[in-house]
Structure 1
């Protein structure tokens, strides 16, 4: 087939011919005679071409243009925009084309300190949050650039030399010395530099704070919702307790009349055994931190190890009279009146009875009256004691042993709960809410004082001597003088408000120590406790150390040191001697 002549094969349709147009590739050579004739499938084949004679005269080579200069650095060129490397057959008179102007050289990448915005630098994620270095998913590849500026410099290049070294005392960055005074300080009117990081892979303190705030936002929302629900539940329980005890007070008023219901007797003289030396030596201790004076009764050798006894509500040191007589042969037993109770001073205001303030009082008492150096359990500068607490005293003893383990050698808890365990247990056991209804009543102002003092403290007498709430052992029922030992302090003007203020701070925002007491622990619990559910004792046992001991005393109520004194003393001796 002749060159330049197309042929259609396998076509049934007759195609009209067309003329060949164009120039001969060699100048000066005439075109063949059949070059302009029409053709088709039925037309006769053209004759074979005649041999082409060489043109007359010698062939003169056309000089080629010099090679184009290389593309400037940083420019992507295709090689066709500069001078042509050979003459064009279509335009033999043109040997080269004028070169277009070169691309403008890109400006050097500015240093970090010059392209910071005027208000605040844009925070970038740290290197740790950018993920693994990988170019493709699931495989190895080239490193992914961390920022747009670094990618631009790697691909294009700046053509700049390395930055000069920074003078001494000037903060340096990836692009050279920073603008500013030595130490990173800036001149007046300049944009201050970020404190941390000078590249896209670093993070500043503002970004770190924002990231932490964003991550903690759901947790804070849940905690705020939990606090709101807890406050609403407490408010509902306070209202219900106020209505229930208000109806009880209305019944007392209707039964006894206004004169009998609204009268109470102020005990002018303390009963026998309360202020004399029947059970021990009375003393006062002035605290260094607050300046208050606390009353205590001590019995035993002054150089013996200290056993500190803490009472609950509405009692005072008198509830430990049986233990004062029992353990004074080997220990220096001290029964303390907590602040606001008994003969101790009573500071005004609810804030004076916060748990952390009460714990500080007990800590100072141990440091002053603690076991002297040279005895078992005492260390240099850290006196220790055997701490025993009942009711509110047990709550404080538990938290003191957890927060100050260097002050407690052994811990004994009697019918008292940890505040965190108590709150969790009450949320899942409504029966405990009914047993603790008086706590919600004490959140109200003035009404608890009025109800407790009605009919000469009838409600307090019911707590201590009632058939369900009082002492269950018939042989240990409180006598009238023993009952007056508790009512003597409560009947004085303003004597009810300080003990009630203990309960008015239990629903505050004060942190509750959640550590386990590292010292040996003994937990005694009355099986017939009317104020604390017996199922609460195993929950408390799981919060103590594995070596702790739990004893559930049968046929005993809440006032265990007075209800079963012989059993309590025997269990205490076994625990102190190590035979438990």
Structure 2
């Protein structure tokens, strides 16, 4: 059965966000947050899979798709993105906690949401894919003096994989790259690097250019001053082992901070929502069901992490 998405807009008080909804509003709510340089349409196939059992919401993050794009870099700080998420769930699920799913920058945002005291009790679970907590990643790097040789090798690999972050901080050059070449050839890039065949996105150049503000507003600030914040919801981390942008080692230390943690490694590249939507939807559904009281699947049983944070708490 195909579900026709319902488009609607959310007024946050400072800007408007474009959103889509699938499925029965009476069912548990799953909110999907996209990454860079995507918009909400990256979730189309995943949402179709989930909509049979859940009320699914996907929205264009500020600066992407049909949502408003504030001009200032400071407007893209994680705190402002959390304001947007609060406006979204106030509109679609004011009286029930939601299940949050994030990919890439949507996942980076998700770590902000799930540690924001304002959202305590509003998030029932968080599934993170290919997007680390900037605070935990920075704290992990600061613990370098206690690292073994193998851990240093993994850190070096992640640094090499993150070359594009340095490039994105160069004034004007990344913008011109998007306008002159990458915006038109993004499907070619995905085909060459991920083996994906995707349709052209009419807002791709704008999504790429405006989304650069996410990096410039947050990376240096969090690396300089990471915060010690703990999640207030159970977390499932999906780790594609062939991710060329976020290496698996970046999530290996999460048990230091996350008390309720499931970490699932899968043989996949970075753009899991596009490459394997059925599989991603199945993992989200299994986790949501388990948090709701269903027995854990064998895969979830194997993925459960005995964390240091749980021992402390």
| TM-score of the two chains, using structure 2 as the length reference | 0.81
Which residue among 449, 457, 476 is the counterpart of 2:183?
457
Retained in 2: the 8 A contact 1:282–1:295?
A: yes
1:478 aligns with 2:197: yes
Counterparts of 1:507-546 in structure 2, within 5 Å, are 507-509=219-221, 512-545=226-259
Post-superposition offset of 1:430: 2.2
**Aligned position for 2:131:** 416
Contact 1:303 1:371 in 2 (8 A): no
8 Å CA contact retained: 1:402, 1:513: no
Alpha-carbon shift at residue 541 of structure 1 (Å): 4.1
How far apart, CA to CA, are the structure 1 residues paired with 2:182 and 2:3? 27
| Distance in structure 2 (CA, Å) of the matches to 1:321 and 1:507 | 29
RMSD of aligned residue pairs (Cα, Å): 2.2
In structure 2, the CA distance between the partners of 1:348 and 1:298, relative to structure 1 (3 Å rule), is same
Q: Secondary structure at the match of 1:514?
A: coil
Question: Aligned ranges for residues 377-416 of structure 1 at < 5 Å?
Answer: 378=96, 384-403=97-116, 404-416=119-131
Could you tell me whether the CA contact under 8 Å between 2:158 and 2:250 is conserved in 1?
no
Q: Does the C-alpha gap of structure 1 residues 306 and 464 become closer, same or farther in structure 2, counting only changes over 3 Å?
A: same
Pick closer, same or farther for the CA change 1:571–1:284 going to 2, 3 Å.
same
Deviation per residue, 1:449-505 (Å, 9 max, x gap):
1122333536744652223xx24xxxxx223xx2x12xx11335xx54320111111
How far residue 425 of structure 1 moved from its aligned partner, in angstroms, is 5.0
Counterparts of 1:514 and 1:463, CA distance in 2? 37
Matched, 1:285 2:10: yes
Instruction: From 52, 74, 88, give the equivalent of 1:329.
Output: 52
What's the counterpart of residue 87 of structure 2?
364
Deviation beyond 6 Å, 4+ runs, structure 1: none
1:491 aligned residue: 205
CA–CA distance in structure 2, aligned partners of residues 401 and 549 of structure 1: 15
Equivalent of residue 42 in structure 2, options 319, 337, 359: 319
Does 2:276 correspond to 1:564? Answer: yes
Is 1:300 matched up with 2:15? no
CA change 1:542–1:283 in 2 (3 A) is: same
Greater strand share, 1 or 2? 2
SS at match of 1:507: helix
Q: What is the correspondence of 1:213-252 to structure 2 with a 5 Å cutoff?
A: none
- What 5-or-longer segments of structure 2 have no aligned partner? 145-151, 291-295, 301-313
Match of 1:108 in 2: none
- CA shift, 1:370, in A, is 1.3
Per the normalisation by structure 1, the TM-score is 0.45
The answer to whether the Cα contact below 8 Å between 1:452 and 1:460 also exists between their aligned partners in 2 is: no
Report the count of equivalent residues.
276
Question: What do the CA deviations read for 1:3-49 (whole angstroms, capped 9, x no partner)?
Answer: xxxxxxxxxxxxxxxxxxxxxxxxxxxxxxxxxxxxxxxxxxxxxxx
Name the structure 2 match of 1:430.
156
CA contact (8 A) 1:541 1:550 kept: no
Aligned counterpart, 2:289? 577
SS of 1:505 mapped into structure 2: helix
- Relative CO higher for 1 or 2, CA cutoff 8 Å, sep ≥ 6? 2
For structure 1, the 5+ residue unaligned runs are 1-276, 373-377, 379-383, 472-476
8 Å Cα contact 1:366/1:385 also seen in 2? yes
Shift of 1:416: 1.1
Write the distance in 2 (CA, Å) between the matches of 1:300 and 1:278: 7
**Counterparts of 2:189 and 2:139, CA distance in 1:** 25
**Aligned-residue offset at 1:278:** 7.0
User: For residues 508-565 of structure 1, what are the alpha-carbon distances to aligned partners after superposition, in whole Å with 9 as ceiling and x for unaligned?
Assistant: 44665432213221110101000011222212344321x31110011x0011112222
Contact 1:442 1:503 in 2 (8 A): yes
Match of 2:76 in 1: 353
Say if 1:531 and 1:414 are closer, same or farther in 2 by CA, change over 3 A.
same
- CA distance in 2 between counterparts of 1:402 and 1:333 reads 22
Q: 1 or 2, which has the higher helix percentage?
A: 2
Distance 1:565 1:496 in 2: 23
1:456 to 1:309, Cα distance in 2 relative to 1, 3 A: closer
Contact 1:281–1:299 under 8 Å retained in 2? yes
